[in-house]
Each structure stands twice: as structure tokens, then as C-alpha cells.
Amino acid sequence: MAKPLDARERISQRFPLREPVRGRVVVVGVCASGKSSLVRALVAWGFEARSCAQEHSYVPDMWQRLARPQALIFLDAREATVRNRLRSNPSDAQIAAQRERLAHARAHCDLYLPTDSLSPADVAMQVIAWLQFLEVPLTQR
């Protein structure tokens, strides 16, 4: 009798690695790092952008298999910043678990950006400058 597949194996079989989609930008990071604000800004600028809830997934390369980005942006924030932005009190262990789930994405990201001392506009401007450097095309405007 065959051993049942775990979640990682099922995802790997259902979503094999394929070529990145030209122009697609994916944003990952810990909770409250600014992913949603950044995606809204990138879409407003004309980029095909989306966030990926990699911090909640036990499939290390979910961002790669499902989203297939040309550019991967990793936003990070210190524990104190996360707690302040969430107005809740996630434990250090919960935040550490998110970072562990994000390790593969961090190792493969095109830009790693700590957002603790940055406004949403500052984050957007830095990322847009980097995307222009990478020659990621606008897909809408």
C-alpha cells in the first residue's frame, strides 16, 4: 500500500515549478510588515502585484509554485514593530514560526527590505526603484 502524500508532496505534484510570469511581482513577509499597502501602491503604479501568505504555509516554495513571480519582494519588521502595527501581542514564537516558513522565500528574494522605520510611501518608492532596476515591466496603467 502506498504511503499517503503529505501537504508538501501534494502541492509539489499539483503545482510543478514552471517559468516565472514576466512582469509579475509577489510580496511576502511577516504579518504587519506592509505587504498589503505595498501591493496596493504597486498596482496603482501599473505593476501586476500580489501578496502571498507564505508566512502561514508549511510548503516552503508555495510563493514560487503558485505565484510564479518575475520579482519576489520580502518585507520584514522586528517583533516590536509587528506588535505595534497589529495592536495585538503575537508571541516571539509565533513570529519566529512565520520567519521559519518564510526562509525559502528570503533565500530567493530579489529585494529584502526591513520596514520598521519606513512609511508605506517610502517602502513603495524603494521597491519601485528596485523593480525599475530589474526591468520589471508595467502591465497596466
Residue boundaries of the structural domains of the chain: 22-133
Cα distance between the two ends of the chain: 54
**pLDDT value at position 37?**
97
**pLDDT value at position 140?**
63
**pLDDT value at position 64?**
83
Type of residue found at 9: E
**pLDDT value at position 129?**
97
- Taking the C-alpha atoms of residue 135 and residue 37, their distance in angstroms, rounded to an integer, is 22
> What is the pLDDT tens value at each position of the chain, 141 positions in all?
566 666 666 666 676 667 888 999 999 999 999 999 999 999 999 999 999 988 888 778 888 878 889 999 999 999 999 999 987 788 889 999 999 999 999 999 999 999 999 999 999 999 999 999 999 999 865
**pLDDT value at position 53?**
84
pTM: 0.85
Helices (H), 3-119: 7-14, 35-45, 62, 79-86, 92-101, 103-108
Q: Does domain 22-133 have CATH number 3.40.50.300?
A: yes
**pLDDT value at position 78?**
93
**pLDDT value at position 74?**
96
Write down how long the chain is.
Answer: 141
